[in-house]
Structure 1
Amino acid sequence: MHPQRIPPQPGQESVWDYPRPPRLEDTSKHIQIIFNGVTIADTHRAKRVLETSHPPVYYIPPEDIQREYLVPSPRSTYCEWKGQGAYYTLIVGNKRADDVAWYYPNPTPAFASIKDYVAFYAAPMDACYVDGEKVQPQPGNFYGGWITQDIVGPFKGGPGSWGW
């Protein structure tokens, strides 16, 4: 079964127009991440990964993250495009979110510019913002895309979408 593409309106992007293999691009959009009342990340220097059927995943430069709240995790995963991923647990005060952020310490050559940049799952956060708009997390709990008004789907990750 193939999903029915939602036609983008002016100023919108369809995730079905994103490439596979994914594309990496710089963005000057204002990215903010809040957890347990603390701004964990605040940047205009993120990079975003765009892949067919997925909302963008934003990677934050390490120097724009309050890294004292990140604790290395033993979890790792492998991406056929980016390589071996490593994870962080986020601890702020009495609140903890395990394996909530990931990065690539030795990415493939095509993704070398995101080395040590960190991406965050939106769902466990108090809020994640793109240019002041609170994002919606990508459906499911596997992918880490951020949905905003300027992105249309349908999005991979929800029930019945694994076969796309």
Structure 2
Amino acid sequence: MTNIYFPDEEISRNDIFFVCYMIERVARRLHQRNRYVVNQIGRKSLEHLVSVANVLHAENPLAVEKDWIETYQLSEGTFHVDRVDPELVTKIPGPLQMGKVYERLIHDTKKPGESEVDGIIRVYNHEICDVIDNYNCSAYYEPSYVIARAYYEGGF
């Protein structure tokens, strides 16, 4: 995919990583699932965000969160990633770690001719995300090729 503002510039994996990281941050702040954030933002706005990611990553993440919440009219939910069994989970993965997990999954499952934005929408709307975001299991911790295989097979 090329940058919508600078057609000579390709979207990088770091741009996708940043957007995935921010999706995770916003979803956690609002107690929503990641797919809610992705679907509320929508394809056209995701194209914009991916295209300006190389600039936004220099901004304060809290300010970017606030801007996304206001701009895309995102609302509070009831999903809490931190509600885990303390017997099973001693440390919840952070937004950076989960942003990387999702960036890799988008890259590893990219279809021929598919844009990165289409990959973001496809992956975040797949049922495998419910398993990856359940920190009582170790799905998020698996190597990226295992997560990609689980994506294709419909489960771990």
TM-score when normalising by structure 1? 0.28
The structure with the greater share of residues assigned to helix is 2
TM-score when normalising by structure 2? 0.29
